């Protein structure tokens, strides 16, 4: 049967952006007869829930809400890290077991996305026996040291977790895999600076199939020309320049990323996807949602200024130095905190 199962995760703050992404999913995949959308929604209010359901109803679709209470309890016990002040980024890991044995595959899509093309190419996808399929992370290719930090030796590829196509049949065959993944998280939660993305890359090292970049076309490729990006690329384990250029013309899922500290829904942002996001917002049920007002720190204000005045190559080099340096500092602090915890 031609069926696609899709999972979103979000809290109430991200519910409008998830709703806009779901709208784009429905609009650009009208030809998929069996399109099943599941939402792991944490603390979402009645208004946003009603708007989500109304969006689905307009396309003759339904949304199934996943019970996240047990997942939230598990996250609290393990003390998982947060992203943008919320632990919702971990929900996909903890609700995954609800789907094992009930379907063969599950496509997870971040809320900060727009689905811009048909996803029917994922019908009968050949995982080649691997646990999941993902798109390589565009920032790691610039030289960030995630694989070194996680001590990944077997496979030096680092994938972005904004879009994860889970092979649930793998978990049916390897019945111990899910429990072992949670065990790995409990043991190593202190070192996962990129949260569940680090966990997936470390635990499933060598067991992730590479998707084409069009399935998670990342914001940095909107910020810079391919020429500028590949001039700065420091690692060989990424797509070829012509693969990224080809994906640009057939984007399936656009992943905004935070650009210069902002998403395209922040007030006064200079995100390269701002116009595209606003176009979809205006045809959504959240068109009246105000842009988010935020206080930008000194680092982000300086970064925005330099982005406007410096040549692409120079800014990219500076961006890499600052971000990589901050990541190393965070890693040292995490190691120190873990050491103190063991001694205590």
Domain harbouring 104, CATH code = 3.90.550.10
In a domain, 266, yes or no: yes
* Domains identified in the chain, total number: 1
Residues ≥6 apart with Cβ < 8 Å to 148? none
Q: What is the rounded average pLDDT of the residues 256-268?
A: 87
In a domain, 314, yes or no: no
- pLDDT at residue number 230: 87
In this predicted model, which residue has the larger pLDDT, 93 or 327? 93
Q: CA angle at residue 40 from 136 to 55, to 5 degrees?
A: 95
In this predicted model, which residue has the larger pLDDT, 174 or 268? 174
**DSSP count for the chain of H helices, then E strands:** 14, 10
> 243 is in which domain, residue-wise?
3-292
In a domain, 306, yes or no: no
H or E element in which residue 8 lies:
strand 3-11
- pLDDT at residue number 35: 98
pLDDT of residue 296 exceeding 80, the answer is: no
pLDDT of residue 174 exceeding 90, the answer is: yes
Residue 146: band (very low, low, confident or very high) from pLDDT cuts 50, 70, 90: low
**Average pLDDT score, the chain:** 89
| Least confident interval from 73-82, 178-187, 291-300, 329-338 | 329-338
In a domain, 312, yes or no: no
Q: What is the rounded average pLDDT of the residues 196-225?
A: 94
Residue 211: band (very low, low, confident or very high) from pLDDT cuts 50, 70, 90: very high
- pLDDT at residue number 183: 97
In a domain, 342, yes or no: no
Q: What is the rounded average pLDDT of the residues 286-303?
A: 81
The pTM is what?
Answer: 0.90
Q: Residue with structure tokens 């998280």?
A: 185
In a domain, 323, yes or no: no
Q: Is there a contact between 235 and 262 (Cβ–Cβ < 8 Å)?
A: no
Q: What is the rounded average pLDDT of the residues 306-329?
A: 70
- pLDDT at residue number 298: 72
pLDDT of residue 280 exceeding 70, the answer is: yes
In a domain, 135, yes or no: yes
In a domain, 61, yes or no: yes
Whole-number Cα distances in Å, 41 to 15, 61, 95, 148, 237? 8, 18, 11, 34, 35
- pLDDT at residue number 336: 58
Q: What is the rounded average pLDDT of the residues 58-85?
A: 95
As given in the structure block, the two tokens for residue 125 are 């996808």
pLDDT of residue 264 exceeding 60, the answer is: yes
In this predicted model, which residue has the larger pLDDT, 301 or 234? 301
Q: What is the rounded average pLDDT of the residues 329-336?
A: 59
The runs of H, that is alpha helices, within 130-273 are: 146-149, 168-173, 177-188, 196-203, 220-223, 226-232, 241-248
What confidence tens digit (pLDDT) does each residue in 175-209 have? 999 999 999 999 999 888 889 999 999 999 999 99
In this predicted model, which residue has the larger pLDDT, 151 or 50? 50
């Amino acid at each position: 049967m031609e069926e696609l199962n899709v999972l979103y995760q979000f809290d109430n703050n991200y519910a409008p952006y998830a709703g806009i992404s779901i709208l784009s999913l429905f609009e650009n995949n009208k030809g998929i007869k069996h399109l099943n959308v599941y939402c792991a929604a944490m603390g979402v209010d009645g208004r946003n829930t009603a708007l989500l359901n109304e969006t689905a109803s307009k396309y003759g679709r339904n949304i199934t809400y996943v019970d996240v209470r047990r997942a939230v309890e598990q996250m609290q016990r393990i003390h998982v890290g947060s992203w943008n002040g919320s632990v919702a980024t971990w929900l996909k890991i903890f609700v995954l077991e609800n789907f094992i044995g009930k379907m063969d595959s599950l496509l997870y899509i971040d809320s900060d996305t727009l689905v811009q093309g048909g996803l029917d190419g994922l019908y009968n996808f050949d995982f080649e026996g691997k646990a999941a399929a993902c798109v390589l992370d565009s920032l790691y290719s610039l030289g960030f040291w995630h694989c070194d930090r996680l001590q990944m030796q077997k496979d030096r590829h680092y994938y972005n977790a904004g879009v994860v196509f889970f092979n649930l049949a793998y978990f049916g065959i390897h019945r111990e895999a899910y429990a072992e993944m949670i065990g790995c998280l409990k043991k190593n939660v202190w070192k996962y600076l990129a949260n569940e993305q680090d966990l997936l890359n470390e635990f499933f090292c060598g067991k992730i199939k590479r998707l084409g970049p069009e399935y998670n076309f990342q914001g940095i490729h909107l910020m810079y020309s391919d020429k500028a990006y590949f001039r700065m690329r420091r690692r060989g384990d990424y797509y070829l320049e012509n693969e990224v250029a080809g994906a640009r013309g057939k984007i399936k899922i656009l992943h905004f990323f935070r650009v210069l500290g902002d998403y395209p829904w922040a007030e006064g942002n200079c995100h390269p996807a701002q116009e595209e996001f606003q176009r979809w917002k205006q045809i959504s049920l959240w068109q009246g949602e105000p842009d988010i007002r935020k206080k930008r720190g000194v680092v982000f204000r300086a970064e925005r200024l330099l982005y406007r005045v410096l040549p692409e190559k120079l800014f990219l080099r500076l961006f890499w130095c600052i971000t990589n340096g901050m990541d190393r500092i965070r890693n040292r602090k995490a190691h120190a905190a873990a050491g103190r915890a063991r001694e205590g």
